[in-house]
Amino acid sequence: MKVLVPVKRVVDYNVKVRVKSDGSGVDIANVKMSMNPFDEIAMEEATRLKEAGKVTEVVAVTCGVTQAQETLRTAMAIGADRGVLVETTPEIEPLAVAKVLKALADKEQPQLIILGKQAIDDDSNQTGQMLAALLGWPQATFASKVVLEDGKVTVTREVDGGLETVALSLPAIVTTDLRLNEPRYVTLPNIMKAKKKPLETVKPEDLGVDVAPRLKTIKVAEPAKRSAGIKVPDVATLVQKLRTEAKVI
Amino acid sequence: MVALVIAEHDNAALKGVTLNTVTAASQCGGEVHVLVAGAGCGAVAEQAAKIAGVSKVLVADAPHFADGLAENVAEQILAVAGAYSHILAPASAFGKNVLPRVAAKLDVAQISEITKVDSPDTFERPIYAGNAIATVQSTDNVKVITVRGTGFDAAAAEGGSAAVENVSAVADSGKSSFVGRELAKSDRPELTGAKIVVSGGRGMGSGENFKLLEPLADKLGAAMGASRAAVDAGYVPNDWQVGQTGKIVAPTLYIAVGISGAIQHLAGMKDSKTIVAINKDPEAPIFSVADYGIVGDLFEVVPALVKELG
C-alpha cells in the first residue's frame, strides 16, 4: 500500500513574524523556514506505518518555491521514499493545493493520504477536507490515533469536549492533530541517505491544474495591541480590582 | 442575497456558537436561513426557528446525520446550496471538518475563522497565530465561511419565528461510519462559551496539582483550560488546550496560572476582556498581556485567592 504525505514549508513556529510596513503581507525574508509541525506528525505517522509493515511506499509531496526541496529532503530523512515538488508561488491557496494533490493522487493511486490539519502560517485548516471532497473519499480530521487494518482505517479524532472514533473505507484521508505522535529527531545518516532519494519536480500546468487565487488580500495589519497592565502585591488587592475596577466578578 | 448557517447541535439542543454564526451571517447583508441536519432533531429546528434574525429553517432528518459525519453533512449542504450567496458554519471541530468539503465541491475558496465582516465579500481573519490580521476579498460567487465565535456577539436565542421546512435527506455515503464518542463529563461550563476561564500551565507541575484550581473554578463558576505544555505533559485532557491549535476563548475573565505565555497560547486567549496572570517568574511573557499580575508561588497564591473570594 502506498501513502501520500503532503508537506508545507512555513515560517518556523518559534519565529515571531512581523507585518510589513506597507500592509502587503508578512515579512518572511531571511526568517527561518521549517516543515509545518502538523506535517511532520503526518510524515512520522506514515513512516511508522511503513516500519510496521502495513505500508510499502511513502511519497512526500509539496507545493511551493524551489527551496521547498529542503522540506522534501527533511521528509525523506524522516522516512519518505521519494519526493515530488510541484513548483508554484508561495501564496498558493488551499483549494489550488487540493486540486494539485488530486491530480497527483490520480496518478500515484495511494490508498491513504495523511496531511497536517492546518499550516501554521495561514491557519486555514482546509486542504485535507477539500482533497477528500475532490477525490470523493472519506476523511478523518484531527486524528489522535490511527489504526490501519482489514482494508479500513479507524481513527480517533480530537473534537470539542473529547474524542470521537470513526471508521473509513479505503482509500481515505487523515489529517493529524498535535498528539498523534512525537516526530523523531532526524539523524545525520538519514539526512545523508535522503540526499540520494529521488526528487521529481513538476509544474501545475503539467498536471493540468489551474492554481489562480480566488481571494485577494486587501491588507495585512498588526492585531490590536494589548497593553500590559499592573502587578498587584497580593490577592486582596487583586480581588478588589476585579470587583471594583474591572467589574468582572 | 441569502446566507445559510449550518447549525451545530447534538440532536437535542443547538450549540451556542451557532448564535454567533447567525450574527456574522446577518452582517453579510441579506436574509439568514439555518440548516439543521440531524437525526430526530425536531427540537433543534424549533430552537433555530426562534433565533432573532432567522427567516427560515431547513431540516434534513435522517439516521445517517446522527453523528455529524462530514461526508453526509457536506452532501446535504450541497443539495440545498444553490439558493445561497453565503454559507457559514462555526469554526468549531464540527464546522472545520465539514465546510471545506462544501467549498471544494462548489469550486470556491473557503474563508476560515473570520473575526469581522467588512462587506458582503470582504472579511477579516487572523493568520500566523493571530500575529497578523488579513483582510481578504473573495472573487467567488458563493462565499463559504467559518466563523470564529469570539469575533461576533451571539444572536438572541428568542424572539424569532422562522418557518420550518423539511428538505429531503441525501443518501448515506457509505464510506465512513461512526464508532464511538468519549466526551468528558463535567458540571462546569463549556470552555469556548464560558464567561470565566481558569487555566493552568506547566507550572502546575502535575495533573494532581490541577485539583488546586478546582475550588477557584467552582467559586467563580469558571470553565477550566490549560496551555499546550500542560496538555503535552499529560496533566489534563487534550480538549482543555487553549491556543492557536486548540480552543480560542474570549471570556470576560481569564485567569492564567503557571502559564508562561508562549505566542501560541496568547493566540487563544488574548481577546479576553480581563486577564489575570499568576506566575513566579516576573519576566514571563504572560505579564505583557495581563491586566493584573501577581508574581508569586501559585501553590500559595491560588488557595489565598480562593479564601479571599469568600
A107-131 residue pLDDT tens: 999 999 999 999 999 999 999 999 9
Q: Quick one: pLDDT band at residue A212, thresholds 50, 70, 90?
A: very high
Task: Give the minimum alpha-carbon distance from B35 to chain A in angstroms, rounded to a whole number.
Answer: 20
Which percentage of chain B shows pLDDT scores above 70? 100
Cα–Cα distance between A236 and B9 in angstroms, integer?
A: 42
Q: What is the mean pLDDT of residues A29-57?
A: 97
Q: Quick check: ipTM above 0.90?
A: yes
A241 shares contact with chain B (CB less than 8 Å): yes
User: Contacts of residue B131 in chain A, CB cutoff 8 Å?
Assistant: 16-17, 19, 26, 223
Please judge whether A248 and B290 are an interchain contact, meaning their C-beta atoms are less than 8 angstroms apart.
Answer: no
User: Contacts of residue A154 in chain B, CB cutoff 8 Å?
Assistant: 179
Strands A18-19, A9-11: pairing is unpaired
Please judge whether B178 and A122 are an interchain contact, meaning their C-beta atoms are less than 8 angstroms apart.
Answer: no
Per-residue pLDDT at B42 exceeds 90? yes
Look at the block and give the residue holding cell 506514515.
A46
Partners of residue A247 on adjacent β-strands: none
CA-CA distances (angstroms) from residue A238 to A38, A229, A244, B81, B273? Answer: 39, 12, 10, 52, 16
From the list B67, B133, B232, the residue facing A223 with the nearest CB is B133
Cα–Cα distance between B296 and B112 in angstroms, integer?
A: 40
CA-CA distances (angstroms) from residue B3 to A8, B83, B262? Answer: 33, 9, 37
Cα–Cα distance between A25 and B112 in angstroms, integer?
A: 17
* Residue in A40, A95, A244 to test binding to B, most B beta-carbons within 10 Å: A95
Which percentage of chain A shows pLDDT scores above 70? 100
Beta strands in A108-161 (DSSP E): 112-116, 139-149, 152-159
Model confidence pLDDT, tens digit, residues B156-175: 999 999 999 999 999 999 99
Q: Quick one: pLDDT band at residue B184, thresholds 50, 70, 90?
A: confident
Task: Give the minimum alpha-carbon distance from A193 to chain B in angstroms, rounded to a whole number.
Answer: 31
Cα–Cα distance between B75 and A102 in angstroms, integer?
A: 19
Please judge whether A222 and B104 are an interchain contact, meaning their C-beta atoms are less than 8 angstroms apart.
Answer: no
Per-residue pLDDT at A1 exceeds 90? yes
From the list A95, A123, A219, the residue facing B103 with the nearest CB is A95
Per the CB < 8 A criterion, the answer to whether B241 and B267 are in contact is no
Per-residue pLDDT at A182 exceeds 90? yes
From the list A138, A162, A218, the residue facing B173 with the nearest CB is A138
Model confidence pLDDT, tens digit, residues A69-84: 999 999 999 999 999 9
Cα–Cα distance between B221 and B242 in angstroms, integer?
A: 18
Model confidence pLDDT, tens digit, residues B187-226: 899 898 899 999 999 999 999 999 999 999 999 999 999 9
Look at the block and give the residue holding cell 476582556.
B273
Cβ-based burial of A195 (10 A; exposed 0-12, middle 13-18, buried ≥19): exposed
Q: Which amino acid is at A24?
A: S
Task: Tell me which residue of A118, A135, A136 sits closest to A126, measured CA to CA.
Answer: A118
Cα–Cα distance between B73 and B71 in angstroms, integer?
A: 6
CA-CA distances (angstroms) from residue A222 to A24, A47, A218, B127? Answer: 11, 39, 14, 10
Residues in A 166-225 with any Cβ partner in B closer than 8 A: 166-169, 172, 177-179, 213-223
A236 shares contact with chain B (CB less than 8 Å): yes
Chain B, nearest residue to A159 by Cα: B93
Cα–Cα distance between B257 and B253 in angstroms, integer?
A: 13
Question: What is the pLDDT at residue B97?
Answer: 98
Q: Quick one: pLDDT band at residue A161, thresholds 50, 70, 90?
A: confident
Per-residue pLDDT at A95 exceeds 90? yes
Question: What is the pLDDT at residue A227?
Answer: 84
pTM (two decimals): 0.95
Task: Give the minimum alpha-carbon distance from A157 to chain B in angstroms, rounded to a whole number.
Answer: 9
Question: What is the pLDDT at residue B310?
Answer: 87
Residue A206: CB atoms within 10 Å: 11
Please judge whether B232 and A178 are an interchain contact, meaning their C-beta atoms are less than 8 angstroms apart.
Answer: yes
Q: What is the mean pLDDT of residues B58-75?
A: 98
From the list B175, B247, B309, the residue facing A138 with the nearest CB is B175
- The H-or-E segment that residue A108 falls in is helix A94-108
Question: What is the pLDDT at residue A228?
Answer: 84
Q: Quick one: pLDDT band at residue A91, thresholds 50, 70, 90?
A: confident
User: Contacts of residue B295 in chain A, CB cutoff 8 Å?
Assistant: 231
DSSP string, B93-144: HHHHHHHHHHHHHHT--EEEEE-EEEETTEEEEEETTTTEEEEEEE-SSSEE
CA-CA distances (angstroms) from residue B89 to A143, B54, B110? Answer: 21, 15, 11
Question: What is the pLDDT at residue B159?
Answer: 96
User: Contacts of residue A128 in chain B, CB cutoff 8 Å?
Assistant: 100
Residues in A 105-164 with any Cβ partner in B closer than 8 A: 117-118, 120-134, 137-142, 144, 154, 157-164
Question: What is the pLDDT at residue B38?
Answer: 98
From the list B100, B101, B308, the residue facing A239 with the nearest CB is B308
- Go through chain B and tell me how many residues it has: 310
Look at the block and give the residue holding cell 465579500.
B121
Q: What counts of helices (H) and strands (E) characterise chain A?
A: 6, 15
Cα–Cα distance between A176 and A40 in angstroms, integer?
A: 9
Residues in contact with B137: Cβ distance below 8 Å, sequence separation at least 6, in sequence order? A215, A216, A218, B121, B122
Strands A152-159, A139-149: pairing is antiparallel
Q: What is the mean pLDDT of residues A29-58?
A: 97
Please judge whether A139 and B137 are an interchain contact, meaning their C-beta atoms are less than 8 angstroms apart.
Answer: no
Please judge whether A139 and B70 are an interchain contact, meaning their C-beta atoms are less than 8 angstroms apart.
Answer: yes
Cβ-based burial of A188 (10 A; exposed 0-12, middle 13-18, buried ≥19): exposed
Model confidence pLDDT, tens digit, residues B98-111: 999 999 999 999 99
Per the CB < 8 A criterion, the answer to whether B6 and B89 are in contact is yes
Which set of grid coordinates corresponds to residue A37? 509541525
Question: What is the pLDDT at residue B248?
Answer: 94
Cα–Cα distance between A140 and A168 in angstroms, integer?
A: 8
* Residue in B114, B127, B186, B308 to test binding to A, most A beta-carbons within 10 Å: B127
